[in-house]
Each structure stands twice: as C-alpha cells, then as structure tokens.
C-alpha cells in the first residue's frame, strides 16, 4: 500500500467500487476535469493522484466510507445505496450501470409468497411491508434466481439488467421495486467544507450527464 502523503486542505478522497463501475466512473470523472487515470493492474487498494486519493472498495462499502467521512465523495449504484440505509447526499444521477430491482418468480407461479430470497433484505422488507405481504426473507449471496427455481423461496428480489438470465431460466419479473443507476454520493460535512471544489464538480457532472442523454 502506498503511504499517505501530506495533503492540502482541499484534498479529495474518492471511494469507487471495484470492477465495471470503476472504469466508467474514472472516464466520467476525468471528463469532468479530475486528474484521474485508470490505475495499472496491481494489488494496490489506494491510488494517489494530484490532490486526490482513490480508494478501491467493494460496492457495499462505498456508502459506509462516505457516510463515516473517511471518503469525501463516492460513486455507487442506487440499489446498494438504498440497501445501505446511509444518510449521504446523492446530488447527481450519473445514469450509467442502469438496472432495476425486481420481484421475480417462476413463469406461471401463482401461490402465495411465503419466502423470498434476496441479496437486498432491507429493500425487500420495505417492499413486502408496503405490499402487505407477510413473507420471510432469506439473505443469499449469489445466483439468487436459483432460489426460485429450486423451491428454496417462492420468489426472489434481485437485479435485472437485460432479462436474459430470467428468460434462460423460465423466470419472469412480477413487479419492479425501483430503477437503479450509478449515483455520485457525498459526505454531508465534506459537501459544505469543500464546496469550492465539490460544487463545480457536481455542476460539471450534471452537464456531462445531460449532454450524454441527448446523444
């Protein structure tokens, strides 16, 4: 790990999730004027750029780092943000990594929903309560669709991007909980203390996203 150098008062610490969002986020932030490049493949988890420290995290950890103020700014999917329950500012919808969190069942299933498998227990609980469905929730870690196919659960709540996996497995979306996409999240104090740096960044990102939508 690279040692943390001495920092100027307007130094920014940026939390990004590993993987696909990282690449798109870096491209967008670089277009918005931040001096960032894709870090070379290495085992480093922290990367230093002029005036910016980049932390590479698991996506569920991005809201934690930003809420507790270890990072000033982050980029994370709305799905993860809702599930985290963290009180961070989310001033820009960056529109990429679009997907939706849906209630999914085997095609034709019509029995009552007694048990729901999901990676999103908080969002699933809120949805089921709002719908008045008194179902048990089973927290799972991956290949959630299998729960509906094997009878572990009567339905699952999971992300849908193209729907390809559902079609291939005889599953269908019964309802959409919410639409998700990547969001810029900002620590509540950092937005105020570093507003000279963050406000222009927010403005620039909004302009870029709006321009991209027109293409």
Q: Give contact residues for other proteins (rule: CB under 8 A).
A: 9, 64, 67-70, 72, 78, 86-93, 181, 183, 186-193, 195, 199, 206
Q: How far is the CB of 9 from other proteins (least distance, A)?
A: 7
β-sheet with 136-139: strand ranges across: 136-139, 115-118, 155-160, 99-106, 171-180
- Which of 47, 183 has the CB closer to other proteins? 183
Pick the closer one to other proteins by CB: 105 or 119: 119
> What is the 3-class SS of 107-121, one letter each residue?
CCCCCCCCEEEECCH
Choose between 44 and 212: whose C-beta lies nearer to other proteins.
212
Beta strands at 99-106 and 89-93: parallel, antiparallel or unpaired: unpaired
CB 175 within 8 A of CB 102: yes
**First and final C-alpha spacing in the chain:** 41
Shortest distance, position 199 Cβ to other proteins, whole Å? 7
Q: Which CB sits closer to other proteins, 9 or 111? A: 9
Contact 81, 185 (CB under 8 A): yes
Minimum distance of other proteins from residue 203's CB (angstroms)? 9
Name the minimum Å distance from CB 121 to other proteins: 13
Shortest Å distance, C-beta 192 to other proteins: 6
- Residue 173, beta-bridge partner list: 104
CA dihedral 117, 120, 122, 128 (to 10 degrees): -50
**In what side-by-side order are the strands of the sheet with 89-93?**
46-49, 52-57, 12-17, 73-77, 182-186, 89-93
Minimum distance from residue 85 beta carbon to other proteins (Å): 8
Q: Which lies closer to other proteins via its Cβ, residue 5 or residue 9?
A: 9
Comparison of 105 and 194: residue with beta carbon closer to other proteins: 194
């Amino acid at each position: 790990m690279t040692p943390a150098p001495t920092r100027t008062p307007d130094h920014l610490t940026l939390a990004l999730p590993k993987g696909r969002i990282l690449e798109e986020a870096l491209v967008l932030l670089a277009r918005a004027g931040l001096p960032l490049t894709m870090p070379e493949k290495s085992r480093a988890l922290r990367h230093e750029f002029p005036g910016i420290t980049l932390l590479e995290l698991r996506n569920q950890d991005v809201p934690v780092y930003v809420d507790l103020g270890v990072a000033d700014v982050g980029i994370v999917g709305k799905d993860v943000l809702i599930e985290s329950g963290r009180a961070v500012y989310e001033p820009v919808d960056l529109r990429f990594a679009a997907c939706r969190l849906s209630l999914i069942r085997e095609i034709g299933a019509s029995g009552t929903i007694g048990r729901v498998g999901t990676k999103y227990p908080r969002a699933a609980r809120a949805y089921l309560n709002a719908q008045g469905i008194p179902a048990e929730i089973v927290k799972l870690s991956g290949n959630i669709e299998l729960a509906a196919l094997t009878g572990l659960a009567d339905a699952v709540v999971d992300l849908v991007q193209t729907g390809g996996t559902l079609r291939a497995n005889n599953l269908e979306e019964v309802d959409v909980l919410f639409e998700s996409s990547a969001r810029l999240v900002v620590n509540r104090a950092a937005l105020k203390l570093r507003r000279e740096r963050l406000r222009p960044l927010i403005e620039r990102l909004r302009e870029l996203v709006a321009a991209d939508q027109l293409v």
